Amino acid sequence: MNIRVLVRAMFVVWALAVAALSVISYPLYPGGKDLLVSVKVTSSGFVVHCIAYFMGIFLCYFSFNKKNISFVVWAGLLIFLYSVVLEVVQFYLPSRAFNVYDVVGNGTGILFFVVFISHPNEIEKKKAFHRAGRPTQTDTPEEYATHSTGQADFCPADPAGQK
């Protein structure tokens, strides 16, 4: 079985589970407390929403072979819209209520993933830029001689002489 097919199935299961958890009535167990609040993560479930939607966009990202930032942003916007629709549905359910903090938590989880996934790409771009014409501390003397600038900030053969 292809790993991408498995991750896509997990993404579909995530979407269905989030929808189901959004419309079912609480409490789910004896004692009269909300299941998520009783876990003592937070009283509003903000952290739970952040983690759930971080996982959702994570699964979406790895479900498709689109490794560019525009895909992540569009997927994030669509998943955020999905979360808003689920919250609006809760407004019309007698046992549930619309909570703006849930929407903020969902958006925060998605935003964390977008920043997380885009940050390494920016670091790689900067490394590639610096490798293009400037010697680095990891260059061997042969690599150092091939750089086009002709001057270096240091001499790789003499690490003590670095500026």
- Residue 27 preceded by cis peptide, ω within 30: yes
Q: What is the pLDDT of residues 77-104, one digit of tens each?
A: 999 999 999 999 998 988 788 888 889 9
Q: What percent of the chain has pLDDT over 90?
A: 34
Contact 130, 121 (CB under 8 A): no
Q: Which residue has the higher pLDDT, 154 or 125?
A: 125
Cβ atoms < 10 Å from Cβ of 107: 19
Residue 49 has pLDDT above 80, yes or no: yes
pLDDT on residue 58? 93
Q: How confident is the model at residue 40 (pLDDT cuts 50, 70, 90)?
A: very low
Instruction: Tell me which residue range forms the domain holding 10.
Output: 3-161
User: How many structural domains are present in the chain?
Assistant: 1
Cβ atoms < 10 Å from Cβ of 51: 14
Q: Which residue has the higher pLDDT, 1 or 150?
A: 1
The dihedral built from the CA positions of residue 138, 144, 147 and 151, taken in this order, carries a sign that is positive
